[in-house]
Amino acid sequence: MDTNKAEGTVQEIAGKVQDAAGGVLGDTSTHVAGKARELSGKAQQLYADTTDIVRDKTTESPFTALAIVGGLGFLLGAMWASANSTPTQPYPTRYRGSDNY
């Protein structure tokens, strides 16, 4: 078991206990803090699961992982370049002044 997953499980259990204590005591702040702690534990477990999946898939097919990372890098670079480019200037309108030349 990964340490992140174990810590996430501990956080989730502690959050459930804190949530229950807040419910019994009628303390809304403890109740909300318990829910937040529980969700934090679930997020940490999800992070651990995701890193395990990515690690396994990367070792199974490293060239596919390189292609995906290269494609993402290209897309991010294109988005960054278009965000930092100067906007195109509209064509100037024709001079509408006096027709006396």
**Position 96 in a domain:** no
**Position 101 in a domain:** no
**Position 39 in a domain:** yes
| pTM (2 d.p.) | 0.59
**Position 73 in a domain:** yes
29/47 Cα distance (integer angstroms): 27
Q: What is the pLDDT along the chain (101 residues), one digit of tens a residue?
A: 578 788 888 888 888 888 888 888 888 888 888 888 888 889 999 999 999 998 898 899 999 989 999 999 999 999 988 877 766 666 666 666 666 65
**Position 60 in a domain:** yes
**Position 35 in a domain:** yes
| Total domains present in the chain | 1
Contacts of 65 (CB under 8 A, 6+ apart): 57, 58
**Position 37 in a domain:** yes
> For residue 99, what pLDDT is reported?
61
**Full domain range(s) for residue 48:** 3-83
